[in-house]
Amino acid sequence: MKNRKLFLNFLIVLFSVIFFYFIINNSNSRQVEENVNIFNTVHYPNPQIWSLNRAPKFEDFKVEKIFDGQPAEVNIYSSPSAREFRGALRYAAKDGSNFAGHYTIASWGCGSSCQDGMIIDAVSGKVYDPFTEATSRGMDFRTDSYLVITDPFDDSFVEDIYRIPARYYIWKNNQFLQIYQEESP
């Protein structure tokens, strides 16, 4: 009888926690959806602009509005890898957006000539892990553009990492789309 009563109390507490968790998350998600709607005004130029005679420029991929509010708390449960890097993500997110209007790129070292990272939505706190490969010399990006310039980590270039060709990506639908690659020097 005592074990049964203890088990029932456990179930009551468990269901209460689950109930309040869903109430809190649903109220926050409605607010996040309202905030995100102001950023649905990004215009992607015709792909021919960046694929013809020159490398893309940040100015080709301008963001119309930049979020300048208080950054949301990082949701380390929104990406499978986020918990492992929660310290670096929280540290990067506290300064607000640094990429594509309302995102923060957090990056860290993963060895000699190796950088990796994730992206945090400053409005919602959601973490994205779009980097399918580490970089050798890091990334170049801006708050007012959704263009990212990076270089893939490649062991064959260890002796001369400056020969690695730059790759150009745009951030679209919460993932990177490669749009251009320079020739290897």
pLDDT digits 0-9 by tens, 152-172: 766 665 566 666 788 889 998
Query: Domain locations in the chain?
Result: 1-40, 42-181
Q: What is the pTM of this model?
A: 0.69
Q: What is the rounded radius of gyration, in angstroms, for the C-alpha atoms of the chain?
A: 21
pLDDT digits 0-9 by tens, 61-87: 999 999 999 999 999 999 999 999 999
Q: Distances in Å between the alpha carbon of 37 and those of 48, 49, 54, 77?
A: 28, 27, 33, 23
User: Which region holds residue 13: left if phi is over 0, alpha if psi is between -120 and 50, else beta?
Assistant: alpha
